[in-house]
A and B are shown apart, each in its own frame.
Chain A
């Protein structure tokens, strides 16, 4: 059974810092990996989708990498801003869709 783990569970950084969020998964037979953002009391917003054949995807200040063989993905956020404060979830898709429990990010002004 696929297990998705995100470390750390919570992260607090000062504004302007570059940071990395980690996601690991146990079964490398995946179609893709997605990073989502969840704001308090709101739904999920898809940030980046990396197909299994890809190594990374970039969108603005966000860069996500995928190393399928080692079962790892990272989400790199450059020059963090208070508006980046949210919970970041990764999810892997194979025959099923599995979410991690998220990393709660707080960017302090």
Chain B
């Protein structure tokens, strides 16, 4: 069984479109994250949710809107896609320690987004 799953695995779309990426974890964790990995392979945190509540929101354009219907799901909706949004987006989950990052994070396989 996949611990952290993301769909779709690949996403190719035109500039200006709106798209969503879904993430689900079956580990029973209460905290989920979205990361962006750019072309230079740097991973940067975008958002973190704990029990459906936003706890971390980095400096991300408001075209990106996370939605957490329950603690096992954290979806990422992107409006008006731009060329610079092309990247690999990773979802992760963990238990919540004293800080959002204190426990081991488990990552999904990534969604490769290409904006043309």
Q: Which residues does A use to contact B, with CB under 8 Å?
A: 31-32, 34, 36, 41-46, 49, 87, 89, 91, 93-97, 99, 101-102
The residue in chain A whose Cβ has the minimal distance to the Cβ of B38 is: A101
A97 to chain B, nearest CB (A): 4
- A44-B90, A102-B41 given; A97·B101 CB < 8 A: yes
- A93-B101, A96-B101, A97-B101 given; A43·B90 CB < 8 A: yes
B46 to chain A, nearest CB (A): 11
The residue in chain A whose Cβ has the minimal distance to the Cβ of B92 is: A44
Complex contact B42–A99 (CB within 8 A): yes
Complex contact B110–A43 (CB within 8 A): yes
- For A96, list chain B residues within 8 Å (CB): 45, 56, 58, 101
Complex contact B41–A44 (CB within 8 A): no
B93 to chain A, nearest CB (A): 11
Q: Which residues does B use to contact A, with CB under 8 Å?
A: 4, 40-45, 56, 58, 90, 92, 97-102, 104-110, 112
Assembled-state Cα–Cα distance A43/B90 (Å): 7
DSSP class of A's interface residues: helix, strand, loop or mixed? strand
Query: Told that A49-B104, A95-B99, A96-B101 touch, could you supply 4 new A-B pairs with CB distance under 8 A?
Result: A31-B102, A46-B107, A96-B56, A99-B43
Complex contact A31–B104 (CB within 8 A): no
Assembled-state Cα–Cα distance A93/B41 (Å): 18
Complex contact A44–B99 (CB within 8 A): no
- A95-B99, A96-B45, A97-B45 given; A46·B40 CB < 8 A: no
- For B110, list chain A residues within 8 Å (CB): 41-43
The residue in chain A whose Cβ has the minimal distance to the Cβ of B42 is: A101
A99 to chain B, nearest CB (A): 4
